[in-house]
Amino acid sequence: MTEAILGAFLILLMRMSDVTIGTFRTILVVQAHKYYAAVAGFFEVLIWIYAMRYIINHMDNSANLLAYAGGFALGNLLGITLEGKIALGYLQLNVVSKSLSEKIAEHLRGSMYNVVLLPVAGDPMGMSVLVAIIRRRDQKNVIRLIEEIDPDCFISLQHSRPYRGFIHGSRK
pLDDT at 77: 95
pLDDT (tens digit per residue) in 23-43: 989 988 988 889 999 999 999
Write out pLDDT tens, residues 60-94. 888 888 999 999 999 999 999 998 888 888 899 99
Q: How is domain 90-171 classified at the CATH fold level?
A: Alpha-Beta Plaits (3.30.70)
Query: Counting Cβ atoms within 10 Å, is residue 57 exposed (0-12), middle (13-18) or buried (19+)?
Result: exposed
8 Å CB contact between 119 and 128:
yes
For the entire predicted model, the pTM comes to 0.69
Which pLDDT does position 50 carry in this prediction?
A: 92
pLDDT band at residue 9 using 50, 70 and 90 as cut-offs = very high
CB-based contact 92:133 (threshold 8 Å): yes
Give the pLDDT of residue 168: 56
Over residues 97-151, the pLDDT tens digits come to 988 999 999 999 999 999 999 988 877 777 889 999 999 999 999 999 999 999 9
Position 171 scores a pLDDT of: 44
Q: How confident is the model at residue 167 (pLDDT cuts 50, 70, 90)?
A: low
Per-domain residue ranges for the chain?
A: 2-86, 90-171
| 90 CB-contact burial (10 Å; exposed 0-12 / middle 13-18 / buried 19+) | buried
